[in-house]
């Protein structure tokens, strides 16, 4: 009888300890499995933005000279102007995303954004770029009033210029 009581006491102490060990192992295994799963998509995501897709120019005389992603996750795309004209607005397109830097949006008599033979660097957060889509220099607005490139993006730029000019006049 005494051995039975002793066995029962040991069992009462060991069962909760074994349960705690099993619980701890289950929680640890789950955290380990989740950390591996969460790193995998993140690793794939980082790999997709480690390098920019091809960057080309649709505009004759605008040459892409470099493109890279800096340590802050910003795409730096540098172009040089070999058109012989000063540029007041320049735009990129990638998939359905467009980005236009246009001095005529903020100024009635815009100063050149890029001089003749000058260079310009677009700085765009990589998160704003669609994955696996080529990036194109798609529009240019010259200081002489001429323009080239994608007609829809040019029209959107003209619309934005009109809106901003209206705001400045009030």
Q: pLDDT, tens digit, for every residue of 73-122?
A: 999 999 999 999 999 999 999 999 999 999 999 998 999 999 999 999 99
Same domain, residue pair 34 and 81: no
State the residue range of the domain holding 115.
55-169
Distance of CA 115 to the CA centre of its chain: 27
Same domain, residue pair 33 and 59: no
User: What pLDDT score does 37 carry?
Assistant: 47
Q: Report how far residue 23's alpha carbon sits from residue 17's, in angstroms, rounded to the nearest whole number.
A: 10
Question: Computed from CA positions of residues 66, 70, 75, 80, in that sequence, does the dihedral angle turn out positive or negative?
Answer: negative
Is the per-residue pLDDT at 33 higher than 50? no
CB neighbours of residue 92 within 10 Å: 23
Q: Could you tell me whether strands 119-125 and 97-102 are parallel, antiparallel, or unpaired per DSSP bridges?
A: unpaired
User: What pLDDT score does 15 carry?
Assistant: 76
Is the per-residue pLDDT at 12 higher than 80? no
Same domain, residue pair 45 and 59: no
Question: Computed from CA positions of residues 150, 155, 75, 127, in that sequence, does the dihedral angle turn out positive or negative?
Answer: negative
Between vectors from CA 86 to CA 83 and to CA 91, what angle results, nearest 5°? 80
Same domain, residue pair 45 and 124: no
Contact 74, 119 (CB under 8 A): no
Same domain, residue pair 90 and 143: yes
Structural domain total, the chain: 2
| Band of pLDDT at residue 25, cut at 50, 70 and 90 | low
Domain boundary among 13, 33, 50: 50
Structure-token match 């040089």, residue found? 80
User: What pLDDT score does 99 carry?
Assistant: 94
User: What pLDDT score does 42 carry?
Assistant: 43
Same domain, residue pair 41 and 110: no
Same domain, residue pair 65 and 147: yes
Is the per-residue pLDDT at 28 higher than 70? no
Same domain, residue pair 149 and 80: yes
Is the per-residue pLDDT at 20 higher than 70? no
Is the per-residue pLDDT at 168 higher than 50? yes
Same domain, residue pair 8 and 92: no
User: What pLDDT score does 17 carry?
Assistant: 77
Same domain, residue pair 59 and 41: no
Same domain, residue pair 145 and 64: yes
Token representation of residue 87: 């540029």
Same domain, residue pair 131 and 91: yes
């Amino acid at each position: 009888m005494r051995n039975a009581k002793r066995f029962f006491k040991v069992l009462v102490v060991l069962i909760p300890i074994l349960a705690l060990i099993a619980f701890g192992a289950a929680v640890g295994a789950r955290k380990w499995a989740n950390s591996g799963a969460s790193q995998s998509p993140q690793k794939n995501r980082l790999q997709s933005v480690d390098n920019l897709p091809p960057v080309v120019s649709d505009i004759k005389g605008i040459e892409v000279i470099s493109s890279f992603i800096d340590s802050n996750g910003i795409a730096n795309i540098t172009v040089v102007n070999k058109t012989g004209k000063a540029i007041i607005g320049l735009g990129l397109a990638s998939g359905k995303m467009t980005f236009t830097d246009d001095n005529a949006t903020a100024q009635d008599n815009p100063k050149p954004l890029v001089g003749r033979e000058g260079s310009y660097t677009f700085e765009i957060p990589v998160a704003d770029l669609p994955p696996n889509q080529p990036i194109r220099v798609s529009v240019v607005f010259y200081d002489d009033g001429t323009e080239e490139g994608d007609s829809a993006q040019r029209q959107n730029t003209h619309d934005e210029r009109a809106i901003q000019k209206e705001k400045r006049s009030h």
